[in-house]
Amino acid sequence: MSYHIFNNKFIFICDFMIECRNISKGKAEGELIVSSEAISFLGGVDPETGVVIDPNHELKGQSIKDKVLFIPGGKGSTVGSYVIFQMMKNNTAPKAIICLKAEPIIATGAIMSDIPMVDSPSSVDELVNGQMVEVDSDNGKITLL
């Protein structure tokens, strides 16, 4: 809950929170970028730029750098974990990751890279492109800002 002062009165604002499961600890906020398709970081994302390069992916040409990435899950080679780590080293990684169902490739990459990651959100209808959110993996919640 947050508050604002208006005409010398406190006005409380209730933030909308979504419960989820903690995968990789941490807290980050940013703009959501949403995909209905799983993503492969190996060959699907350019670690130098953070741009999705998979020609068949719906996010092709879009940057996930400094965004909160919401995807169903990951796919592809286990080397994808190291691509996520390289993105973190290059400052091209997402700020946080939300998955419908976490799988070992992206979970390992997020843990190695200290990227907050959650899965199994209790509600997904509010998680749309452009929505500002805070991912608080320490407490298992996503807050719409």
SS3 state of residue 85: helix
Return d(Cα 82, Cα 4) in angstroms, integer: 43
Exposed e or buried b for every residue in 85-123, given b needs 16+ CB within 10 A?
Answer: bbbbeeebbbbbbbbeebeebbbbbbbebebbbbbebee
Catalytic residues: 77
CA torsion, ordered 113, 116, 117, 121, to nearest 10 deg: -170
Nearest to 35 by CA among 5, 13, 67, 8: 67
